[in-house]
Copies of this chain bind each other. A is one copy, B any other.
Amino acid sequence: MFFQIVDILGTIAFAISGALVAMNKRMDPFGVLIIAFVTAVGGGTLRDIMIGIEPVSWMKNMTFVYVIIGSVVFAVLFRKRINFLRKSLFLFDTIGIALYTLVGIETGLIAGLHPIICIALGTMTACFGGVLRDVLCNEIPVVFRKEIYATACILGGFTYFILRKFLYDENYLFVIAGLVVIVIRLIAVRFKISLPSLYKKDNI
């Protein structure tokens, strides 16, 4: 129940972020809907098709479809006044990536994959919706350039697997690893910490 609510909040944040980027690119309503959809479910879809869970998860759960459509309608109607929601959306998004990371890790564990692959799947679930959003909007994905975003997911994933050697209660593990993702991201944004870009001029 608790996880379900968190999941829906994350989906709302992702869908609205997609809708806003799409409107910013002067897309029509169909484009806005698709970009919102891809942002919200793209990471999980990629995870599912890579490990063979098909039909992919969102096709079997209409709740998310309705939540995304509702979020898009909301974002379109209130697009001029949505700035005052900025903080709530940032918070939802942060909680969302923490949860998505854990969902991805758990999916990998169920499929019997190596911990590093599980962490990769968790990070993919959390971050690749945004990557696909940016690719469809013809931008270099923002998570490759800016902010501690994927890094928070990766560190949360490592925390999960390290603690797993000492702690046997899955619920505690999830809460602690999720908090690691959230805290790292909040600190990074609060203090404007980002990874340095590794610039290299000449290309081969």
Contact B114 A62 (CB under 8 A): yes
Interface size on A, residues (CB 8 A): 68
Query: How many angstroms from the CA of A111 to the CA of B34 in the assembled complex?
Result: 22
Q: Most chain-B Cβ atoms within 10 A of its Cβ — which of A29, A60, A76?
A: A29
Query: How many angstroms from the CA of A198 to the CA of B76 in the assembled complex?
Result: 7
Tally of this chain's copies: 3
- The reply to whether the CB of A162 lies closer than 8 angstroms to some CB of chain B is no
- The reply to whether the CB of A195 lies closer than 8 angstroms to some CB of chain B is yes
Contact B51 A204 (CB under 8 A): no
Binary interface encoding of chain A residues 28-56 relative to chain B, with 1 for a CB under 8 A from any of its CBs, else 0: 11111011000000000100011110111
Of the candidates B24, B59, B117, B196, the one whose C-beta lies within 8 Å of that of A200 is B24
Contact B89 A204 (CB under 8 A): yes
Contact B30 A199 (CB under 8 A): no
- The reply to whether the CB of A169 lies closer than 8 angstroms to some CB of chain B is no
Query: How many angstroms from the CA of A34 to the CA of B143 in the assembled complex?
Result: 10
Contact A31 B202 (CB under 8 A): no
In the complex, which residues of chain B have a beta carbon less than 8 angstroms from the beta carbon of A80? 200
- The reply to whether the CB of A164 lies closer than 8 angstroms to some CB of chain B is no
Closest B-chain residue to A153, C-beta based?
B30
Subset of 16 A-B contacts with CB under 8 Å: A21-B203, A23-B197, A25-B140, A27-B145, A27-B198, A31-B144, A49-B49, A49-B54, A50-B55, A51-B54, A52-B52, A55-B111, A62-B114, A65-B116, A83-B204, A90-B204
